[in-house]
Each structure stands twice: as structure tokens, then as C-alpha cells.
Amino acid sequence: MTQLIQHILQKQNLSKKDIVRLLNSDETERKSLFAHAAEVKEAHVGKKVFYRGLIEYSNLCGKNCLYCGIRAGNKNAHRYEVTEEEVLEAARYAWENKFGSLVLQAGERSGKDYVRRIERLVKEIKEMSNGELGITLSLGEQSEETYRRWFEAGAHRYLLRIEVSNPELYHRYHPQNKIHDYEARLQALHLLRKVGYQVGSGVMIGLPFQTMEDLADDLLFFQEHDIDMVGMGPYIEHEDTPMYQYRDQLMPKMDRFYLSLKMVAILRIMMKDINIAATTAMQAIDPMGREKSIKVGANIIMPNLTPSRYREDYLLYEDKPCTDEDAEECKRCLEARIHMAGGEIGYGEWGDSKHFARRRKS
């Protein structure tokens, strides 16, 4: 049936039915999918892989997403917040090593002091690097005013995963209350766009009860919302979470991995000029997970810069990689890996989403 796959791959626009068929591709068929996605990638975004040095700023979180290891209700998580000096030190490392950009990620928190602290950190990182380091924030749902303050301080990209685009599933994986509301999350994505950020989103793949149709809808969601950057990866169970009870209903980890690779490849074909991340969760299942993602369409990688002493505590899921390494080890390790995957590192470049630049011009 590779002929059918070839036929689908020649289409200008993929329908939901086409996407589902591609997601269901067997081992031979998926090779055609991956080869085609690699060609699309080369033609539209080239070989360059851009770095976003990742600082996992804090695992304190006010929310209780049912799948997440650092949810507020997990009393076994040891909570931390990286100090200001350490953030600046990590930022300096990123700048000196020509990483181009930084991602500041943390659980979701609010409050005046917190908003001010982040604002100050963003300003300080900008000043320290003569405005050269690009800053991406991944700090959850916030008010329009907060988004604006952080934008004006110098952040220019924001990641907020929709997690799962089907509202029914969304409510199944989150507590039923105001702070875990699907509509509010959608609204936050719109606010980010309005304020002027390049907007990133993403989903988890292989969640319990999630179907191929749901995943096809996730990809169509990114298209419909004209998302500039996407980070998605396999769902990985965590013992201290309510969703662990469904672990026996999950597909095997390797299947979740290949499904995630297919999602990356199909998305690259659908949205040719966006930025797609090779996520850490891919590597949690397959030691070469991120390299494989790069081969089939991803062009962004996030080397971990979190100071070593905190890494073990930012455990969103089991088997998270790089928890015993430091920034220097991850840098060396990644360089070798990206070259192996036939990529080139875009040192010293922001590597903004071409999609965003085009939308601005039109």
C-alpha cells in the first residue's frame, strides 16, 4: 500500500482522513513518509538546527494537571527555584557559547512579586547579552498585562502547549475547575499573539483514550491557529500522578515514540516553514530520539542549561534524560549528535520562525 501513501504525500493539502492514514502507516510506509518530510524540511528550512538553551527555572506550580510529575498535589516533589545569579550565569554561558536563544521554563505561578521577578530577569539577561540573546518564555497562562510586561522587558517568543486539542479529553486530563479550563487556555494563545509574541504550542502523544483522529485534529489545530512553533512529544507516565492508574492501557513506549516521529514528519509537510522542536521526551524513550526527530522535520533543540543541582527535581515524567549532566556535557553531546543526524548548528542566530516573519510581511 505504499502507493496510497505516495499518493497522499503528493497532495497540496492533507485532509483529516489523509493524516489518520499517515499516522496508521506501517513500517515500510512510514519510511516513505519520513523521506518525504526530510525533503520538505531541507527545501524550506534547510539543514540548520537552532539552539534554545533551556533553564528550568522552578518546579513550583499552582496547577494540578493529572499527568504531570511536578503538579502542586505531588508532595513527593522537592521544590526549588533557581537563584537570580544562577539564571544569569546560565544565560551568560548560553551567550558566550553562541546559543542564540534561551528558554525560561517553569510551573505556572502568579502574583505581583513573581511577575516582577521574571520581568527583572528578562531585562537583566537582555542587558547582559547586549540584546543578543533571544528569550522565549514558557511560564503558563498569565493575564494580558503580564504577557505585555514580559514582552516589553524583552521576551519575544512564548510557548504554551494546548496539551490536547480535543476539549473533552482536555477536561479528562485536568481537574474540573476555573484554573484548568480549555477555553481559558485557547484565550491565552490568542492573547500571546495579540501582544506580539511568536507563539509556540504543542501536544502530548499517546495519552490514554487518545485516538488517531484526535492526533490528526491536533495537527489541524496548529494549522488553523497559524502557530509559529511546535513542541510535541510522547506522553510518559509518572508514578506520582493520578493518570498513572491508566498505565496498563497505554500503547508500548516504542509505539508512542514512532507515533511522535510521524506527528513531527506530517506537521513538517503541513506547515513547511514553522519551527519544530526535537523534544526531550523523545529522548526519554529512545536515546537517539531527538536526532531522529531532526531527520524527519524538527529544526530546534533545547540543550539543558539548568544548574545540575536542580535537574533531578524537574521531573515531569519518568526517565527524563540529562539529569546527571551539566551544561558543558550536554553541549558536547549535542554537537556530536546533531552532526551525526546531518544537521548544522545555527550558532549565534536567533533562528526565528520563518512562518512568523512571513505573516508579519503579508
Which chain residues interact with ligand SF4 by CB under 6 A?
Answer: 61, 63, 65, 68, 70-71, 107-108, 140
The partner residues of 138 in beta bridges, in order of sequence, read 105
Residue listed under C-alpha cell 490514554: 208
User: What is the footprint of ligand FES within residues 292-321 (CB under 6 A)?
Assistant: 304
Tell me the CB-side half-sphere exposure of residue 117, using CA atoms within 13 A.
Answer: 17
User: Applying CB under 6 A, does 52 fall inside the site for ligand 5AD?
Assistant: no
Taking CB atoms within 8 Å and a gap of at least 24, the contacts of 77-86 are: 77/240, 77/313, 77/315, 78/313, 79/313, 80/310, 80/313, 81/57, 82/55, 82/56, 82/57, 82/58, 82/306, 82/307, 82/310, 84/117, 84/120, 84/121, 84/124, 86/307
Considering the rule CB under 6 A, would residue 204 count as an interface residue with ligand 5AD?
A: yes
Give yes or no for residue 322 binding ligand FES (CB under 6 A).
yes
Residue 222, binding choice from ligand SF4, ligand FES, ligand 5AD, none, Cβ under 5 to 8 Å by partner class: none
Which of the choices ligand 5AD, ligand SF4, ligand FES, none does residue 108 contact, using the CB cut-off of 5 to 8 A by kind? ligand SF4
> Looking at beta carbons only, is 29 or 217 nearer to ligand 5AD?
217
Cα separations in angstroms, 109 against 56, 218, 316 = 14, 26, 16
Residues in the chain: 362
Which residues inside 332-361 make contact with ligand FES, applying CB under 6 A? Answer: 333-334
Asked if residues 107 and 140 have their Cβ atoms less than 8 Å apart, the reply is yes
Q: Does 163 bind ligand 5AD (CB under 6 A)?
A: yes
Among ligand FES, ligand SF4, ligand 5AD, none, what does residue 80 contact (CB within 5–8 Å per kind)? none
SS3 187: helix
Of these partners, ligand SF4, ligand FES, ligand 5AD, none, which one is at the site of residue 317 (CB under 5 to 8 Å by kind)? ligand 5AD
Q: Which of residues 172-201 bind ligand 5AD (CB under 6 A)?
A: none
Selection from ligand SF4, ligand 5AD, ligand FES, none that 329 binds (CB < 5 to 8 A by kind) is: ligand FES
